[in-house]
Amino acid sequence: MTNTTGTTTAPEHGPVPLPPAVAHTLVTAGAIGTIASAFMSWTWTPDFPGDLTIYGYPAGLQILAIVAGALTLLYSLTLWNVRGLHRLNPAGATTPVLLTALSAFAVCWYTAIAIAVDLGGLVNLDPGAYVAVIASALPVIGALALPHPDPGTGIRGYLTKPDQPRPGKLPALAERAVITVGTALALVVFTYGIGINDDESETFIGYLLVAVFTAWALVHAGLLDRYAAISARHKGFSATLAFVAVAVFPFTQSEDHNANLGVSILVFATVALGLNIVVGLTGLLDLGYVAFLGVGAYAAALVSGSEFSRFSGVQFPFWAAALTGMAASLVFGVLIGAPTLRLRGDYLAIVTLGFGEIFRIAVNNLDGVSGPNLTNGPNGISRIPDLEVFGFDLGEAHDLGSFTLGRFANYLFLMLIFTAIVVLVFTRAADSRIGRSWIAIREDETAATAMGINGFRVKLIAFALGAALAGLAGTVMAHVNYSVNPQPYQFAGAAPPNSAFLLAAVVLGGMGTVSGPLLGASLLYLIPEKLQFLKNYELFAFGIALVLLMRFRPEGIIANRRHQLEFHENGPDEPEQGTLPDEPAVTKAGA
């Protein structure tokens, strides 16, 4: 390494003064030891979730240790200049090695501590657990002894994303193959996570540890940025594969319960995408958006033919019920938006919050006692019959070859179609003239008005369109749940849907993007569902997540390029080094 005076100095190493060859050996040997330990017994009793008692048969957290160890081994080999592996770490950075080593370290040490705490002492650990603890620590020590990624910066250097070499373009067929492989891996990871039983929270926490550190490592290796750039060049193909992956998901499940989780995630993700039009594109802070979901659900329930409906003799066909829910939400969107959208900022947020509470209180009182008999009050409308689509009863299980698709799998396919419609509407609207007007209003309403944009009309269109999309999802939710009642439709309820959940999903995932709210809603629904002890602390957990996000990545997990440039010091004409003009902007904040 040459300093500013022209003299040559030795490269700076991490906190542990070891020769690079020894450090490489430690990482490799520790990764192999971690994998080997997973084939040993970690505890003598099957009372710990996952049954870690059998030699030669990894299960539960042991499988995650194998994955983390294999990734550590793979990235350690990239530093040995193994032919063909340089593509996994183009910059030759040491940070991905450290992060993958930390994933193995975290899952092994967490498992050992959980066994000791849950079962009452270290005596419950078998030899395999001690081997895993020691072996997983070696790669961390070795990775810290490797040359520092950014000399002179201390720990901040490990958090700073290294500059990436300028990538070359692959042939179109090869790029599509990369997208296919990436989508398949994403399906496998999601399927494994959703397949963890609800009573195995320890296993799910280990899954999250491995997933977070691995994603962090892939960001620092530059792979996720390159994958995003390739997907952006093949938007139609990548979107099609994503929907195909969701359609394949029910065939990977043996329990219809997991398909039920999939339906719920799609419902809330679709509603979050509708809210993204209002918040992400137009910049209107709507704190009562969940009310439009309730309007659609109640409208569909009233014409569903339920014996508890005020119009029990009326049963609309599927398409008419869907249009009824959309139309009702659209009307309410216009009625609420027309007198309130002349307000801005905090005043608009307060008004929308008030509308959400008014809706919940109103449907709670329309029980024939406190008000007209329309919604059956706190009891809601129950026994909503299943939908029939072209004579196909979605409430019955159907055999497709050797696969049996249950009720929730049927609704998942229906909701997937609705999600595709919402995604199409969002993308077409965002790229249209009205979409550019929304963005102009979001950036500076005064300047947009001065340029001839009718701010009130543009905002009202966004408000009405977002409400209609929420109503469409509400029609499906009413039939999936068999009933509707006022309890879920509040700003911050005990469980989703609620406005705080939907707003957090948009902000966490990435405002102004398509995939951001879908990812945010998936995470915020799935994590509390699998970690039952978080049920009473959802809002606390959401708050911590948002604080951390605002500090380290305010543009969201999946960043909109415009937002990313706003939140970081580089201007729109000054992309980060190593970033192609057609790639998403790369930040140097800890990814």
What is the DSSP secondary structure assignment for residue 315, as one 8-state letter? B
In this prediction, residue 138 carries a pLDDT of 94
The 10s digit of each residue's pLDDT in 204-223 is 999 999 999 999 999 888 88
Average pLDDT over every residue of 369-396: 83
Closest Cα to residue 334, out of 214, 210, 468, 197?
A: 468
Residue holding tokens 């959802």? 538
Average pLDDT over every residue of 28-39: 94
In this structure, of 347-356, 360-369, 519-528, 567-576, the range with the lowest mean pLDDT score is 567-576
What distance lies between CA 74 and its chain's CA centroid?
26
**Residue 452 identity (one-letter amino acid):** G
Partnered with residue 393 across adjacent β-strands are 388
The 10s digit of each residue's pLDDT in 510-558 is 888 888 888 888 888 888 888 877 767 777 777 787 788 777 777 778 7
Closest Cα to residue 281, out of 448, 516, 462, 420?
A: 462
Question: Alpha helix (H) ranges present in 7-56?
Answer: 20-37
| pTM for the whole structure | 0.84
Of 474 and 13, the structure prediction assigns the larger pLDDT to: 474
Pair of tokens at residue 214: 């691995």
Q: How confident is the model at residue 576 (pLDDT cuts 50, 70, 90)?
A: very low
Of 170 and 38, the structure prediction assigns the larger pLDDT to: 38
The 10s digit of each residue's pLDDT in 136-173 is 999 999 998 888 777 767 787 777 777 777 777 788 89
- For 255-509, CATH number out of 1.10.10, 1.10.3470, 1.20.59, 1.10.730 equals 1.10.3470
Q: How confident is the model at residue 9 (pLDDT cuts 50, 70, 90)?
A: very low
What distance lies between CA 73 and its chain's CA centroid?
28
Please check the confidence at residue 449 and state whether its pLDDT lies above 60.
yes
Of 587 and 114, the structure prediction assigns the larger pLDDT to: 114
Tell me how far apart the alpha carbons of residues 301 and 478 are, in angstroms, rounded to a whole number: 6
Mean pLDDT of the chain, nearest integer: 83
Using DSSP, state whether 200 is helix, strand or coil: coil
Contact 159, 218 (CB under 8 A): no
Tell me how far apart the alpha carbons of residues 244 and 239 are, in angstroms, rounded to a whole number: 9
Please check the confidence at residue 591 and state whether its pLDDT lies above 70.
no
Tell me how far apart the alpha carbons of residues 40 and 58 are, in angstroms, rounded to a whole number: 8
In this prediction, residue 31 carries a pLDDT of 94
In this prediction, residue 586 carries a pLDDT of 37
Using DSSP, state whether 496 is helix, strand or coil: coil
φ/ψ region of 391 (left if φ > 0, alpha if ψ in -120 to 50, else beta) reads: left
Longest Cα pair distance anywhere in the chain, in angstroms?
A: 90
Closest Cα to residue 62, out of 187, 189, 203?
A: 203
Domain boundaries, the chain: 20-233, 255-509
Please check the confidence at residue 312 and state whether its pLDDT lies above 50.
yes
Pair of tokens at residue 10: 């030795």
Tell me how far apart the alpha carbons of residues 253 and 409 are, in angstroms, rounded to a whole number: 10
Tell me how far apart the alpha carbons of residues 106 and 214 are, in angstroms, rounded to a whole number: 12
35-62 in b/e form (b: 16+ CB < 10 A) is: bebbebbbbeeeebbbebbeeeebbbbb
Pair of tokens at residue 162: 């290294």
What distance lies between CA 276 and its chain's CA centroid?
14
Across 251-402, where does the E strand assignment appear? 388-389, 392-393, 398-400
Q: How confident is the model at residue 199 (pLDDT cuts 50, 70, 90)?
A: confident
Pair of tokens at residue 295: 């309007």
Which of 254-268, 286-300, 336-350 is most confident? 286-300
Side-chain-side CA neighbours of 481 within 13 Å: the count stands at: 21
In this prediction, residue 98 carries a pLDDT of 92
Q: How confident is the model at residue 569 (pLDDT cuts 50, 70, 90)?
A: low
In this prediction, residue 444 carries a pLDDT of 83
Average pLDDT over every residue of 25-49: 91
Closest Cα to residue 509, out of 563, 470, 436, 440?
A: 563
Burial degree of 269 (CB within 10 A; 0-12, 13-18, 19+): buried
Tell me how far apart the alpha carbons of residues 341 and 387 are, in angstroms, rounded to a whole number: 36
Of 112 and 15, the structure prediction assigns the larger pLDDT to: 112
Please check the confidence at residue 72 and state whether its pLDDT lies above 90.
yes
In this prediction, residue 496 carries a pLDDT of 67
Tell me how far apart the alpha carbons of residues 254 and 62 are, in angstroms, rounded to a whole number: 22
In this prediction, residue 581 carries a pLDDT of 35
Partnered with residue 381 across adjacent β-strands are 484
Of 1 and 140, the structure prediction assigns the larger pLDDT to: 140
- From residue 67, give the alpha-carbon distance in Å to each of 85, 369, 473: 17, 60, 37
Contact 225, 164 (CB under 8 A): yes
- From residue 120, give the alpha-carbon distance in Å to each of 112, 113, 209, 345: 12, 10, 23, 53
Burial degree of 85 (CB within 10 A; 0-12, 13-18, 19+): middle
